[in-house]
Amino acid sequence: MKATNDFSKGKISAIILRLGLPMVLAQLVHVLYNVVDRMFIGHIPEASVNALTGVGLTFPILLMITAFANLFGTGGVPLFSMARGAAKTGEGNAALQRASSVMNGTFFMLCATGVVLTVLVLLVKKPCLYLFGASDVTYTYANDYLSIYMFGTVFVMISLGMNGFINAQGFSGKGMMTVLIGALLNLALDPLFIFVLNMGVKGAALATVISQFVSAMWVILFLTGKKTLFKLDFRRMLPSWKLVREIVSLGIAGFIMGFTTSAVQVVCNAMLSQFGGDLFVGVMTVINSIREISFAPVNGITSASNPVIGFNYGAGQYRRVRSAIVFDTVVCVGYMSVVWLLLMLFPRFFIGIFNDDPTLVETCVSSMFIYFFGCFMMSLQMAGQTVVQALGRAKQAIFFSLLRKVVIVIPLTLLLPRIPGLGVNGVFLAEAISNFLGGAACYITMLCTVWREMKKKEARTVASGVAESHA
């Protein structure tokens, strides 16, 4: 392996930044896939609010696709990284073979699941969209967008699920290009299809599908090319049931996070539709778009630290694991504190990116103040979740995914709007409360378990080294 691909050497913060900066850009660009659609859709003449609301109603389904990509991608990448790290401790060729099997098996599962999801969603889309809060007016836009978007499901699965294996080998620049190519293409095609060809939301969906196809082809070409350390081998892709269970058991935390995010969005849209109507569903669409952009750098840094933590843990470098935890925490909390300040000071600027309807803008401002209150606390959950997932602590990762969304957010979203005087504000308040409770619980638990364990293992390693030197 090249020195730059060995995460056990060099300053840990420099390694994470080397991987993280391209991945931050990659995350920002990835957000553009759907966010750019909303930016253009939100400015369609005479239909901007209804069109934007209709596309927002498809979020739960799009999040579900992402959840399945996470199931295999976030399950496979830590196993892959730990196997690479174990190759340095004497396991040698067997560990490298295991890493290859993990990557190839993940690719197969992503493609097969993508085909199944495409067929299933197309069969049940109408009742689902009405369940998610669609009205007769907004259903037309939601159906137009989703019917085309679903034909790109397999491409989404490949680009999201397999890009982590490029980053985990140290090729973060190539990983960045996966999303950069597709997003720039989407940015160019959206105005052409939406306005020039007058295709409306159908044009936005078609532009996204084409862009996702190009991104998926980039991933496949790289992972079958000469520069990659581990190649896709189409003859070795059928995974063993044992390997499937390992990948799924570790990736289930990422899946639950995506699945519960989808469930939260369903509940939010339903309650907003009931207590506020289509306007507030549109407000939530704008807020979700701002949230995706705001949190993209945190996702990039934590995604970059995941293989670094897993590699060093596999290599027995426990001090470096703790250094990575500290670095993640400082960077993520510091960044999100600045974001919170900017959102509170300049809300109309961020809202105006997606829609300039005066009624929606004014309604959205007050909702943003509530929704994003204390949003820096969410970065603590993301940092803590990354650590336990990188170390293969599937049960712990699953618990905190469920705690914040299923135990805290969903019940509060159903309860708070019914309190006199709160109404729709209760939906936005539920998110703020969950950030504090879920973020604190996850991070404190990580410190009491993983952090302490790393200190004990580090002490034993030092003691063993001293004993060997005396001998």
Instruction: Sketch the domain layout of the chain as residue ranges.
Output: 14-465
Q: Percent of the chain having pLDDT more than 90?
A: 29
Task: Tell me: pLDDT of 257 over 80.
Answer: no
Q: How far apart are CA 103 and CA 232, in angstroms?
A: 7
Q: Could you count the other beta carbons within 10 Å of the beta carbon of residue 70?
A: 22
Question: How large is the average pLDDT for residues 19-24?
Answer: 75
Question: How large is the average pLDDT for residues 255-261?
Answer: 80
Question: How large is the average pLDDT for residues 238-250?
Answer: 84
Does residue 223 contact residue 166 with C-beta atoms inside 8 Å? yes
Q: What is the pLDDT of residue 6?
A: 67
Write the DSSP assignment of 85-126 as a string of letters: HHIIIIIHHHHHHHHHHHHHHHHHHHHHHHHHHHHHHHHHHH
Does residue 354 contact residue 52 with C-beta atoms inside 8 Å? yes
Question: How large is the average pLDDT for residues 33-60?
Answer: 80
* Higher pLDDT, residue 186 or 355: 186
Q: What is the pLDDT of residue 26?
A: 65
- Convert the pLDDT of each residue in 284-311 to its tens digit: 888 988 988 888 888 888 888 888 888 8
Mean pLDDT for the chain? Answer: 85
DSSP 231: -
Q: What is the pLDDT of residue 182?
A: 85
Q: What is the pLDDT of residue 1?
A: 42
- Convert the pLDDT of each residue in 116-132 to its tens digit: 999 999 999 999 998 88
* Higher pLDDT, residue 455 or 154: 154
DSSP 409: I
Residue type for 259, please? Answer: F
Q: Give the best-scoring range by mean pLDDT among 42-46, 280-284, 394-398.
A: 280-284
Residues 6 or more apart in contact with residue 322 via CB below 8 angstroms: 451, 454, 455, 458
| Structure confidence at residue 81 as a pLDDT band (50, 70, 90) | confident
Question: How large is the average pLDDT for residues 64-75?
Answer: 88
Question: How large is the average pLDDT for residues 54-70?
Answer: 88
